[in-house]
Amino acid sequence: MAETAPAPPAADEGLALHGIAVRFGGLVALDDVSLRVPPGQVVGVIGPNGAGKTTLFNVICGFVRPAAGSLTLHGRPLHPRPDRLTRLGIARTLQGVGLFAGLTVAENVMAGATGSARAGFLSALLGLRRSDRDERRLRAEALELLDELGIADHADAPPATLPYGVRKRVALARALAARPRLLLLDEPAGGLGVEEIAELGELVAGLPRRANRQPGTGADDPCSVLLVEHHMDLVMSVCDQIVVLDFGRVVATGTPDQIRDDPAVTEAYLGVDDPSASAEVPPSDEDNRPSDQRSGAAA
Ligand SMILES: Nc1ncnc2c1ncn2[C@@H]1O[C@H](COP(=O)(O)OP(=O)(O)OP(=O)(O)O)[C@@H](O)[C@H]1O
């Protein structure tokens, strides 16, 4: 019997930004930025240094309030606050790793899931049975996640004793422990070697398809991913859609193939209209990006 194709997501499903503007004093960091992250897709945000990527990420996390524009999540107005993201089904990893130094790897991952624990702070404080049950469940789930990410051997280690690449995976496991419907990744490839970036690419590309069982409903919701990243090869290989920012404005949106061929993207990265003139554009001393990232959009 032929399989029925899954219904396409409704137009308002997922995260959407509508005409977002952010100013820092007289500086316009984001100007009329609109984009969508549909369920089950990986959407990348790229752009040269100072383009507004981190500001965009901070708007979605609620660290920065836009001067104009609005956000919606599944068609409803979204007024994000960093401490309420988990409740909205949103998880994030930040630049760097940001793990709790006093906790083991497994405990760090469990901390990411505490929003789904049924027992509250009081019952945990009083050592009640339900809290023990929650604790055992959270630990089992944390170990499963660590296993999925290939780092189960490190479950009882303090994060500080581990290589940077492993710590980044722990941070990803902690974000996934919240069973997000939307995962925000801020420069996950930063500080990783070529091989680690390739492995990360496989992980990120698989995120929308992994089982993401929601507590209560038991339904497997697809997880969408917003990836803010400098590393062009990673973005090109894992994203369904890419949004290119330059000077706070969206200069291109499309599939990796469309972005690769878009002259506006070449211009944003190289500051020239004609890619053939790129060899004459000297890299700036202040631009510390590796050369593959400066020219990657045109590659
Ligand atoms: N808190 C702030 N106060 C003042 N200006 C800011 C602030 N945060 C960012 N900016 C400015 O806003 C612009 C966009 O910065 P943003 O960090 O979002 O860019 P980016 O694309 O993430 O850059 P990078 O790739 O270098 O991290 C830049 O000109 C930056 O100097």
Task: Return d(Cα 294, Cα 290) in angstroms, integer.
Answer: 7
Residue nearest to atom 16 of ligand 1 (CA): 52
Could you read off the pLDDT of 66-96 as tens digits, one per residue? Answer: 999 999 998 999 999 988 888 888 998 877 7
> Which residue's CA lies nearest to atom 30 of ligand 1?
50
Q: What is the pLDDT of residues 13-26, one digit of tens each?
A: 889 999 999 999 98
**Do 207 and 294 share a domain, yes or no?**
yes
User: pLDDT band at 119, cuts 50/70/90?
Assistant: very low
Instruction: Domain count for the chain, please give it.
Output: 2
- Is residue 7 in a domain? no
293 lines ligand 1 (CB under 6 A): no
**One domain for residues 55 and 85:** yes
Structural domain contains residue 292: yes
292 and 221 in a common domain:
yes
Domain span at 261: 15-89+179-298
Ligand 1 centre to CA of 241 (Å) is 23
Mean of the per-residue pLDDT values of the chain: 80
Secondary structure of 110-143 as H, E, C letters: HHHHHHHCCCCHHHHHCCCHHHHHHHHHHHHHHH
Nearest CA to ligand 1 atom 7: 24
Q: Are residues 75 and 213 in the same domain?
A: yes
Q: Mean per-residue pLDDT for 148-160?
A: 91
- Does the beta carbon of 53 sit less than 6 angstroms from any atom of ligand 1? yes
| Residue with the larger pLDDT of the pair 190 and 121 | 190
- Between 150 and 120, whose confidence is greater? 150
Look at residue 280 in the predicted model and tell me its pLDDT. Answer: 32
Burial of 278 (0-12, 13-18, 19+ CB in 10 A): middle
Residue with the bigger pLDDT between 213 and 227: it is 227
Using pLDDT thresholds of 50, 70 and 90, give the confidence band for residue 212: low
Last-in-domain residue among 177, 207, 230: 177
- Note the ipTM here: 0.97
Give the pLDDT confidence score for residue 86 in this predicted structure. Answer: 86
Q: Residues 245-290: pLDDT tens digits?
A: 999 999 999 999 999 888 888 888 866 554 444 333 333 333 433 3
Describe the chain by its helix, strand, coil percentages, rounded to 5.
40, 20, 40
Same domain, 19 and 158: no
Residues 214 and 278 in one domain: yes
Average of per-residue pLDDT across 219-246: 89
Contact present, 188 and 227 (Cβ < 8 Å) = yes
Q: Is residue 28's pLDDT more than 50?
A: yes
Q: Which residue from 54, 56, 246 has its CB within 8 A of the most atoms of ligand 1, so it is best to mutate?
A: 54
Domain end position, chosen among 145, 177, 209: 177
110-113 long-range contacts (CB < 8 A, ≥24 apart) are 110/135, 110/138, 110/139, 110/141, 110/142, 110/177, 111/174, 111/177, 112/173, 112/174, 112/175, 112/176, 112/177, 112/178, 113/138, 113/141, 113/142, 113/177, 113/178, 113/179
**How much of the chain exceeds pLDDT 70, in percent?**
76
| Ligand 1 centroid to residue 80 C-alpha, Å | 20
- List the 27-37 sheet strands across, edge first: 27-37, 15-24, 68-73, 76-78
Best residue among 22, 55, 244, 246 to mutate for probing ligand 1, ranked by most atoms within 8 Å of CB: 55
Q: In angstroms, what is the span from residue 216 Cα to ligand 1's centroid?
A: 40
> 190: Cβ below 6 Å to ligand 1?
no
pLDDT: which is higher, 232 or 284: 232
Take atom 17 of ligand 1 and give the residue whose Cα is closest.
54
- Is any ligand 1 atom within 6 A of the Cβ of residue 60? no
Total-model pTM: 0.80
**Cβ contacts of 21 within 8 Å, gap of 6 or more:** 28, 30, 31, 32, 33, 66, 67, 68, 69
Q: Are residues 19 and 110 in the same domain?
A: no
Closest C-alpha residue for ligand 1 atom 23: 50
Clarify whether residues 221 and 120 are in a common domain: no
Confidence of residue 60 (pLDDT cuts 50, 70, 90): very high
207, pLDDT greater than 70? yes
* Same structural domain, 69 and 136: no
Task: Please give the share of the chain, as a percent, with pLDDT higher than 90.
Answer: 39
The CA angle 249-253-241, to the nearest 5 degrees, is 130
